[in-house]
Amino acid sequence: MERICVLGLGYVGLPTAAMLATHGHEVLGVDVSRQVLDRLHNGEVHIHEAGLRSLVRAALKSGHLRIAEGPEPADAFIIAVPTPIVREEQALAEGAPQGSPVADLSYVISAAEAIVPHLQPGNLVILESTVPPRTTEDVVAPILRRSGVRDLLVAHCPERVLPGRILAELVGNSRVIGGVDQRSAEAARELYASFVEGEMLLTDATTAELVKLMENTHRDVNIALANEFALVAERVGVDVWEAIDLANRHPRVKMLRPGPGVGGHCIAVDPWFVVQAAPDLTPLIQTARRVNDGMPAHVVELVRQAVAGVERPVIACLGLTYKADVDDVRESPALRVLELLKAEGFEVLACDPHVRALPEAYGRLLPVSEALRRADCAVILTDHAEFRALSPEDLRLMRRPLVIDSRCALKGRLGTPDAEHRLLGSGR
């Protein structure tokens, strides 16, 4: 398999395309976004990920990676396009239970349709996007088969990389490879073998889909459990962070960390794909999603209590991405906190050294020192290294040194004279 066409040049597709191009393949990277194509043509890399810029530049310079707005004939096609959720009205219109979002498969469908005119006998098509169970068999394979081309190989190989460690994990992680038949799975294994050093675990396509969803749902449900304990701890006068540390000394307990909610393109989204497949069988998964989605409102309640009595308080929101040390704000609970604070009439300052631009509605992004200088209350929403390193001197810049810490970023680092430090999940 020499010629590979990768559709979707985002967090998953771009590193994959560059990796294949630097491991002996001729790769065409395809994206429908003019902005993405222009930046890549100008030698800029729009995804901020350790080592990616030099890998992409090397691949482009060698000529083994080319960029285009549409696919060309190839030996294998990899689809790595977004699979977001559609909420509320549209989901209801599609028959989902009240308040349950459903998968928006329109990007996957249009990528599969774009491949069809270029298919040739023996081609391999791999869907890497995360999808609801049966999508490969019931949605993607039928589109490809309508081409009438014989002997097509089709597989679902979910991507499991962790943003921040994408390049290392692309190579080192084990891969679940789900073929619609054995030959498809084996062909996909052969393709990944050019750069994957982890184990290759062959199965069928629907199992591979469910495995990926189970992994993220497992994390979501366990974060919801930690969040529920955080709320209980606040009520009964316990510090949940200490309690979790102690509980985790049990050899068979591994509690996750509470926080202001769950975000990102995966964990906050993928459990809904399981619910979509079986709404009547998934009360636990649905409740966990709602517990996590309820945390931003809880953070706002902590702010409201902390600034009661302050006239026209100014709130600095420190950290807008969904997790530490990345630039990704998709589904970020921090943005939800910001929206809710604004809706309550607070003056809110947005601050995140990793984020370059925000929609206008969130206001101008401010440097940390300016946000602190203007604030009566700082809410830590993402525990970026920059915020974990905040010192008492930094907080003394504030109009009133009051910190609400939803990530346990500063615990034990501030004395009472330095700042009032209120920790989410602590009833102390």
Ligand X SMILES: NC(=O)c1ccc[n+]([C@@H]2O[C@H](COP(=O)([O-])OP(=O)(O)OC[C@H]3O[C@@H](n4cnc5c(N)ncnc54)[C@H](O)[C@@H]3O)[C@@H](O)[C@H]2O)c1
The footprint of ligand X (CB under 6 A) covers 7-13, 30-33, 36, 80-83, 107, 110-111, 114, 128-130, 159-161, 163, 265-266
What angle do helix axes 295-306 and 333-343 make, rounded to 10 degrees?
A: 50
Least distance to ligand X from the beta carbon of 381, Å? 20
Residues in the chain: 428
- Residue closer to ligand X by CB (options 131, 377) is 131
Most distant CA pair in the chain, distance: 74
- Residue closer to ligand X by CB (options 161, 300) is 161
Least distance to ligand X from the beta carbon of 164, Å? 9
- Residue closer to ligand X by CB (options 10, 198) is 10
Query: 417 exposed, middle or buried (CB, 10 Å; 0-12, 13-18, 19+)?
Result: exposed
- Residue closer to ligand X by CB (options 11, 346) is 11
Query: 5, 157, 266, 351: which one is catalytic?
Result: 266
Least distance to ligand X from the beta carbon of 270, Å? 7
Q: Whose CA is closest to 106, among 129, 134, 133?
A: 129
- Residue closer to ligand X by CB (options 7, 366) is 7
Query: 246 exposed, middle or buried (CB, 10 Å; 0-12, 13-18, 19+)?
Result: exposed
Which residue of the chain is nearest ligand X when measured via CB? 10
From residue 30, give the alpha-carbon distance in Å to each of 47, 111, 277.
15, 10, 30
Least distance to ligand X from the beta carbon of 69, Å? 8
Least distance to ligand X from the beta carbon of 358, Å? 17
**Hey, what are 237's tokens?**
């006068």
Query: 5, 157, 212, 317: which one is catalytic?
Result: 212
* DSSP classification of residue 426: B
**Is position 212 annotated as part of the catalytic site?**
yes
Instruction: Compute the chain's Rg from CA coordinates.
Output: 23
Distance CA 350, CA 368 (A): 9
Q: Which residue has the tokens 């921090």?
A: 334
**Hey, what are 143's tokens?**
């589109």
What are the catalytic residues? 212, 266
